Amino acid sequence: MAFPNTMLYAIGLGFLGYLCGSLPFAIWVTYLIKGVDVRLAGSGHATTTNTFRQAGFGPGVIVFILDVSKGFLPTWLAIRFSPAAWIIPLTAALAVAGHCWPIFSGFRGGMGLATTGGSLLAVEPIGFIIALGVLISLTLIVRHSARAAVFTGILMAPVMWLLGLHGLVFWIAVATGLVIAYRFLVDWNRKYRELWLDRERTQ
């Protein structure tokens, strides 16, 4: 009866991951501070950077911490309680998916980077640092944040492998990387006036 038990853990932890990811902190915080939906201006997404633009530095920092925690908490719980290792990257990926397509806000959420970072931090902080380094490097090279994020989603796991991280953090990078790469394709043709903070919506 081990297999049914494992599947129950997978369903339960995966569902927990998705629900945690679905908490739309950027929407709630920005509405509380400014009385507006963060998705109606700027990039049009419920992200930390858009919160910075719409509500200011303090609320942006709060949202960043909360979005990181959405990935950290379910992944940390999966590490400690799941009976099979494959459940952990599944839980992390569903947390990121919940952030991107949250059930609590009409499936219109953020982009998944902060939540991915939280999942990586839960298992291996150096993995978070490597992923951040890949993202920053590609952003400076490509000069387009969304395209750099797509490439980061695809490349962060191979980079970790080349740097000797072959364990759980690698598989979390694979799973979450696929989600954020797909998510950022929606902004592939977005025009940017200034890198990261001053976006112009594609007409």
Q: Which pLDDT score is estimated for 44?
A: 85
Task: For the chain, state the CA radius of gyration.
Answer: 17
Q: Which pLDDT score is estimated for 101?
A: 97
pLDDT truncated to tens, each residue of the chain (203 aa)? 466 789 999 999 999 999 999 999 999 999 999 888 999 887 889 999 899 988 999 999 999 999 999 999 999 999 999 999 999 999 999 999 999 999 999 999 999 999 999 999 999 999 999 999 999 999 999 989 899 999 999 999 999 999 999 999 999 999 999 999 999 999 999 876 544 444 444 43
CA gap 122, 136 in Å, rounded: 21
pTM over 0.85: yes
79 Cβ neighbours under 8 A, 6+ residues apart = 88, 122, 123, 168
CA gap 23, 7 in Å, rounded: 25
Distance spanning both ends of the chain, measured CA to CA: 55
